[in-house]
Structure 1
Amino acid sequence: MPGLRRFFHSYFHKQPESKSPSHPEASTETDSSDATLVLPPPSSHRSPGLLPIRDRMRGSGKAQAPDANTQTMPKAGKKRATGGSAAAQKPYTKAQEAARYYNDTQNHGANRKADAGTKAQLNKLFDELISEEDKARDDLEPVAEIGAEQCMAYLERLNVNPASYELFVVLEIVRAESIGIITRAGFVDGWADVIAASGGSGRVTPDWAGQRQLVHARIAQALTDPNYFKTIYDFAFQVGREPGQKAITMAVAVGFWEGLYVPDKNPWRSAHVDWLGAWTRFLKEKFGVVKVNSDGEEEVEYKRTVSKDLWTQTRLFAAKSMQDETLSFWSEEQAWPGLIDEFVIWCKEKGIVPNANNGESMVVE
């Protein structure tokens, strides 16, 4: 079970479920299945991400290529009570926030992009995702979030493969801040915005069938629309970061690349070269340390991390390498990250880059 599939199998099925996972405050960093369905634009919401997995490492990235897109990601703020006293200015607890949010939507409160009836229906859908253990709690406050097991059940309900880019299609819609946690607010507001942006015969309905239809339309869209693929690619980096970190671990990055460029649907390869295979082999040779885990399986630990710049430029390099497998677009004078420069040189030394005249090369499997 390679790459991303092994990671998510381990994460969703081995990590203990938590009733109330905490969300440390993140820092600000810059760095179609149905032809009748009218796709609303992907959400513009961006939030810093958490990925509570083991064996994290630290590192840095490098320079900016000429055509890179960078974003300033908003800081996740805490909602505060209004009022004059010092006590009133303290943040609400997670349960209190959920109760306030739930009551606002039920009582036809702040209604920006979807009517209160739609949000009420979405709240009921979220309630269906809550575990039996949480449903049996004595307190009367609504559950603010669901954990790993319920997230997996939700993905299965939508017929989504969690070991591929399909995962990020769903998480981007529900405004997830981490893998393995979906909040009520993110689920309701995210889907409410999608529904409000749809219309006519292609209107998304606030039910499971409507969600499945929209998600699978976007899954197909990701294979044909470079701008939308960029949206979920960039979002993957956000949910892959630890709170307060500028980079993601290389182990997570490699797993994400293997899922985003899944071979049977969205391969990063050209006529003669398996570029994803070459890229991951290069990273393993340069930074990887192979260890055997408790299950007797080999795992690779990496001695550095992946910056936002390197993550962004890898997508651009992938797109160009699939169009020109001779890599004639690359030169040492350009502002590609240093690691990509090293990769190009490595490919040429290994004979992976095809000769422009005869197209011969070594395909890395």
Structure 2
Amino acid sequence: MSSSTFGALLCSVILSFSTTLVNAGHYSLTQDYSGAKFFEGFNFSTIPDPTQGFVTYIDQSAANSTGLAGMLTVNGSETGAVYLGVDSTTKLSTSGPGRNSHRAQTNQTWNHALVIADISHTPGGICGTWPAFWMLGTSSEWPNAGEIDIIEGVNSQNFNAMTLHTNAGVEVQNNTNLFKGTLTTSDCNVADPNQPTNQGCNIADSPNADSFGKVFNANGGGVFATEWTSDFIKIWFFNRTHIPANVLSSSPSPSSSWGTPNALFQPANNTIDSHFSDLQLIFDTTMCGQWAGQAWTTDAECSKLAPTCDQYVAENPAAFKDAYWAINSLKVFQDQGAPAYGSGNGTQGR
């Protein structure tokens, strides 16, 4: 080999190696669901609520025509934010059917992603409600393909509950210095006999994180970012005054300036890829059911309003006027070189 040929080959190898280093961890926009594009990329499921909530999920046409879904309007002007609400005018019988609401889920699925949602208002902190923004595997048998709960809470709860749900084999480490929240359960297996049924592994944000409930809404919300890789699942919350510049510019760089995440799920046995696949994004607001209903009697604020959650939800429609999502933007990014999409469409899940 001549010296010139060897030199050219060496330069090629160095360039290739350098490019790999530059591209590693570099996220590119894959899907943008902001504004009207939300209603093109999401479908509204009408399945019976898998959690036995006092709710009736209606389709997109019905939601649009009754004002339960559309673009948020303030003082007669559209804000550009997506609005997802629940019926707040109809008195119901406690025997059902439940209150009209939504379960909106993406047509597309992913394997590894960085999901960034700018949300200015949630249904959280209202007695009877159980809102969630989450990712669900499309396997017909829950939770074989995994579940990631990014925003979730019930009744008057004033902190965000971030949770993974899997079958057996995923237990996360309590790396307390590496995330801000508090690990309450470490086994992601929903059938762990030593944890409440369907609990999964949960990290509770602190109430002063302002990431859920009435304070979140009063502050104008903020940005949630969820990074899902083969090694970990991280969730950050940034309030309005602390959103990183690279998030605002749609050039996200989690390792550069984001700081400590609110939650870090990092299994010691490296089992994420074998338990999470083909996840779709979901926004829903259910009522009562397996969590909000069961927690009703232990919620000091809510339990004094009615003997049961179902009765309160049925008889007090005006209480749910503010039980809505306002989604300023929703974007999905992926690492360069990673597979862009999953393969399945939505299934029932939990």
TM class, shorter-length: under 0.3
Whose helix proportion is higher, 1 or 2? Answer: 1
TM (norm. structure 1) is 0.23
